[in-house]
Amino acid sequence: MHETLLETRNLQAWYGQSHVLHGVDITVRSGEVVTLLGRNGAGKSTTLKSIMGMVPKRSGSIRFEESETIDLASHRIARLGIAYCPEDRGIYATLNVEENLQLPPVTRPGGMSVEATLDLFPNLRERLKSPGMKLSGGEQQMLAIGRALMSRPRLLLLDEPTEGLAPVVVQQIGGIIRRLKSEGFTILMVEQNARFAATVADRHYVMERGRIVDALNNADIEQNFDRVVALLGV
Ligand SMILES: Nc1ncnc2c1ncn2[C@@H]1O[C@H](COP(=O)(O)OP(=O)(O)OP(=O)(O)O)[C@@H](O)[C@H]1O
Residue 1: the pLDDT is 52
Model confidence at 17, pLDDT cuts 50, 70, 90, reads: very high
Ligand 1 binding pocket includes 233 (Cβ within 6 Å): no
Q: Where are the domains of the chain?
A: 4-90+155-232
Q: What is the pLDDT of residues 193-221, one digit of tens each?
A: 888 999 999 999 999 999 999 999 998 88
ipTM above 0.85, yes or no: yes
pLDDT confidence bin for 125, thresholds 50/70/90: very high
The reply to whether ligand 1 has any atom less than 6 angstroms from the CB of 43 is yes
Q: How far is the CA of 130 from the centre of ligand 1 (A)?
A: 32
Q: Is the CB of 38 under 6 A from ligand 1?
A: yes
pLDDT at 35 over 90: yes
Q: Is the pLDDT of residue 224 over 90?
A: no
**pLDDT-based confidence at 88, cuts 50/70/90?**
confident
- Residue 39 CA, closest ligand 1 atom number: 21
Name which residue sits closest to atom 16 of ligand 1, judged by CA: 43
Q: What pLDDT score does 231 carry?
A: 80
CA of 41 to the centre of ligand 1 (A): 5
CA–CA separation, 1 and 112 (whole Å): 28
Band of residue 154 on the pLDDT scale cut at 50, 70, 90: very high
In ligand 1, which atom is closest to the CA atom of 42? 21
Cα(202) to centroid of ligand 1, in Å? 25
Q: In the chain, what percentage of residues exceed pLDDT 90?
A: 71
Query: What is the rounded average pLDDT of the residues 162-189?
Result: 93
What CATH class does 4-90+155-232 carry?
Answer: alpha beta
The model's pTM is: 0.93
